[in-house]
């Protein structure tokens, strides 16, 4: 049975038709299943004419918002005349996107890159680099509860346990319950069990899918230090955090570390499918001709979008704007916690937050009531993470009046719960 909402004849018709056509596994569960007709800036319009403020940005992808005029114009200009696919061909946007992406890191370790067509493919390529660099070291470390994607090796390092016997999971400080000494102890045990056998340590700046857990700075510094002392590849998964989310262009800047390989995705191309691994040349160059090639990586559309995103970030000072909006967003979310007893915690930074709700049913109800809003306008959330955590991640271009409007809608909508 597809989801149906009152007064949504066209939306209900399209949802029902799709339900009969589409495999269920395609989507994650969201109680609204919005049928979108058009989008502009931070707003979506449903097919039945309702207006929503977008608190999801796709899934943290449309960092510049929808249909951003500067982005769209530049995107078209960079790709003008080029084929959509340029397998094994060199194009100007490919050279420019590669050069500018590496330069945007401004770190000594950002030397070369590999492109990918999705975040999880980028993760796999980064892991392959480390495994090829040290074929005699099969062990891969990852933080417990992380999310790196569902495919292949990316899936092996995702979640609370791994089906891959070469993967070992290390604790991540969730609510500051873990001390540096605890993590050092775990890593010392790994040293003892696998001397000179570890190729890589992969982690995320913050655990998003687990429910938005943002660690103290010591954690990543400690991991980096441990990796450096053993020449273990420190891989930072910035598929979600890249391009401004945490209030810096990259989260490794927010956490003051310099990883060996950084994987980018989502916001990298503002919605055009793109991912990349940027880092140490000695790691990247371990893959020979064809070992990281695929049909769609680094196509002209991708590279044009990457260049256009970098242009707009520079011209419109998107990161500064995100930093200016961050305290306002944090304060408004804490206001919800004061007002509604079912809002149990707010965690986040920049413009990425998790709002923990008392239980899964109430969390789904929050999503649904936000969508219904005042009947004409509402707020769009994805389905809860980790059962009961609402992800708040609007486009980084959201303005204070738009936040005012969104929170007025939310306060009225959640008062019905």
Ligand X SMILES: Cc1ncc(COP(=O)(O)O)c(C=O)c1O
- The residue ranges that bind ligand X (CB under 6 A) are 59, 118-120, 123, 147-149, 204, 208, 237, 239-240, 265
Residues with Cβ within 8 Å of 337's Cβ and at least 6 positions away in sequence, in order, are: 343, 344, 345, 346, 355
Report which residue's Cβ sits closest to ligand X.
119
Compare residues 12 and 120 and give the one whose CB is closer to ligand X: 120
CB-CB neighbours of 336 under 10 Å: 19
| In the complex, least distance from residue 110 CB atom to ligand X, rounded to whole angstroms | 19
| In the complex, least distance from residue 399 CB atom to ligand X, rounded to whole angstroms | 26
| In the complex, least distance from residue 207 CB atom to ligand X, rounded to whole angstroms | 9
CB-CB neighbours of 95 under 10 Å: 11
Compare residues 12 and 118 and give the one whose CB is closer to ligand X: 118
| In the complex, least distance from residue 242 CB atom to ligand X, rounded to whole angstroms | 10
| In the complex, least distance from residue 238 CB atom to ligand X, rounded to whole angstroms | 8
What are 54's strand-pairing partners? 380
SS (H, E, C) 332-345: HHHHHHHHCCCEEE
Q: Please report, for residues 76, 224, 365, 392, the alpha-carbon distance to residue 406 in angstroms, rounded to integers and kept in the order given.
A: 32, 39, 17, 11
| In the complex, least distance from residue 117 CB atom to ligand X, rounded to whole angstroms | 8
Rounded distance, CA 382 to CA 139, Å? 35
| In the complex, least distance from residue 205 CB atom to ligand X, rounded to whole angstroms | 9
Compare residues 268 and 363 and give the one whose CB is closer to ligand X: 268
Computed from CA positions of residues 58, 60, 61, 66, in that sequence, does the dihedral angle turn out positive or negative?
positive
Compare residues 200 and 372 and give the one whose CB is closer to ligand X: 200
- Alpha-carbon Rg of the chain, whole angstroms? 21
Q: Which two tokens stand for residue 177?
A: 């319950």
Compare residues 162 and 358 and give the one whose CB is closer to ligand X: 162
Compare residues 134 and 234 and give the one whose CB is closer to ligand X: 234
Residue with tokens 């429910």: 211
Compare residues 149 and 244 and give the one whose CB is closer to ligand X: 149
**Ordered alpha helix ranges (H), 255-386:** 281-284, 300-316, 318-339, 360-372
| In the complex, least distance from residue 24 CB atom to ligand X, rounded to whole angstroms | 18
Compare residues 59 and 415 and give the one whose CB is closer to ligand X: 59
Which of 237, 26, 221, 226 shows the shortest CA–CA distance to 125? Answer: 237
Phi and psi at residue 134, in whole multiples of 5°? Answer: -130, 75
């Amino acid at each position: 049975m597809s989801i149906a909402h009152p007064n949504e004849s066209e939306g209900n018709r399209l949802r029902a038709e799709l339900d009969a056509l589409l495999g269920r596994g395609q989507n994650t569960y969201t109680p609204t299943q919005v049928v979108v007709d058009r989008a502009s800036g931070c707003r979506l319009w449903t097919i039945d004419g309702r207006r929503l403020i977008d608190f999801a940005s796709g899934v943290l992808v449309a960092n510049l918002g929808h249909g951003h005029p500067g982005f769209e114009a530049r995107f078209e200009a960079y790709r003008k005349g080029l084929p959509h696919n340029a397998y094994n061909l060199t194009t100007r946007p490919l050279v420019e996107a590669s050069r500018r992406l590496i330069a945007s890191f401004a770190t000594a370790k950002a030397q070369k890159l590999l492109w990918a067509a999705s975040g999880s493919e980028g993760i796999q390529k980064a892991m392959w680099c480390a495994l090829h660099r040290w074929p005699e070291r099969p062990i891969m470390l990852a933080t417990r509860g992380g999310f790196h994607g569902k495919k292949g090796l990316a899936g092996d390092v995702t979640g609370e346990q791994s089906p891959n016997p070469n993967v070992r999971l290390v604790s991540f400080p969730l609510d500051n319950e873990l001390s540096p000494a605890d993590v050092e102890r775990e890593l010392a045990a790994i040293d003892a069990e696998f001397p000179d056998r570890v190729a890589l340590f992969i982690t995320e700046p913050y655990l998003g899918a687990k429910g938005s857990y943002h660690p103290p700075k010591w954690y990543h510094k400690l991991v980096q230090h441990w990796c450096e002392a053993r020449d273990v590849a420190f891989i930072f998964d910035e598929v979600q955090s890249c391009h401004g989310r945490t209030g810096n262009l990259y989260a490794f800047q927010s956490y003051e570390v310099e990883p060996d390989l950084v994987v980018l995705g989502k916001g990298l191309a503002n919605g055009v499918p793109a991912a990349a691994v940027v880092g140490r040349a000695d790691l990247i160059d371990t893959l020979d001709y064809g070992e990281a090639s695929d049909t769609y990586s680094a196509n002209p559309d991708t590279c044009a979008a990457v260049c256009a995103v970098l242009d707009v970030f520079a011209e419109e000072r998107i990161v500064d704007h995100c930093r200016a909006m961050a305290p306002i967003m944090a304060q408004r979310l804490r206001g919800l916690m004061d007002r509604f007893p079912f809002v149990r915690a707010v965690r986040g930074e920049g413009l990425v937050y998790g709002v923990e709700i008392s239980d899964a049913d109430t969390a789904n109800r929050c999503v649904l009531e936000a969508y219904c809003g005042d009947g004409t306008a509402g707020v769009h959330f994805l389905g809860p993470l980790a059962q009961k955590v609402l992800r708040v991640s609007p486009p980084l271009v959201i303005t204070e009046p738009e936040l005012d409007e969104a929170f007025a809608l939310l306060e009225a909508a959640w008062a019905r719960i």
